[in-house]
Copies of this chain bind each other. A is one copy, B any other.
């Protein structure tokens, strides 16, 4: 792995990874960048370059890369090898869906619990995950050194929730609300912006 992997490359890596895991299960040992490119409708050169940025070992000319090696390299690059604990705030429909989704384990993400201000929800469990009150959640965050918060609260409360989480020590926020969040420089926000996706889809459909 070299330094400064472009954002675009990082976004493509999870796709490659899923594909590699699939073919690894099919006992395929080696893969060339050309094969990956064909599968995803990308140019072979692009894939080649992406892999060269990530791969710790050199690919073998005429043969390609050892699949299992590549999987390991991508996982290390994306930090999937060390589990990150997260707390989810706002146990509505979307929040419940995310709490119940088992697939995050594959991405190095472990949602340890939920938090909600609704007293009727506090103390209950969703898919085996406890729902905490803000007070108890704050203690949990500090005790477990949880650095990542997932916000699925109503948009109107998003900023307050965000401030609360950062105050408790969080350094990363995964924001599922349409609200624009203001955070200090040392905190990272990733917006899961459906409006953005929908805008792209809308424009793409319009063109036809």
Interface residues of A (CB under 8 A from B): 5, 7, 10-11, 13-15, 18-19, 39-40, 77-80, 84, 92-94, 96-97, 100-101, 103-104, 107-109, 147-148, 171-172, 174, 178, 180, 186, 188, 190, 192-206, 208
> Given B15, B18, B19, B107, which contacts A202 in the complex, CB threshold below 8 Å?
B107
Please state the number of chain copies in the assembly.
Answer: 2
Nearest CB of chain B from residue A198's CB, rounded to whole Å: 5
Given A10-B199, A18-B180, A18-B195, A190:B208 Cβ within 8 A: no
Distance A127 CA – B148 CA, assembled complex (angstroms): 31
Distance A18 CA – B181 CA, assembled complex (angstroms): 13
Q: Is the interface of A mostly helix, strand, loop or mixed?
A: helix
Nearest CB of chain B from residue A146's CB, rounded to whole Å: 12
Distance A178 CA – B84 CA, assembled complex (angstroms): 20
By a CB distance below 8 angstroms, the chain B residues around A148 are: 201, 205
Which 10 A-B pairs have CB atoms at the shortest separation, nearest pair first?
A93-B97, A14-B195, A190-B201, A79-B202, A188-B204, A94-B97, A172-B205, A79-B206, A14-B199, A11-B196
> Given B79, B96, B97, B109, which contacts A203 in the complex, CB threshold below 8 Å?
B79
Distance A39 CA – B148 CA, assembled complex (angstroms): 24
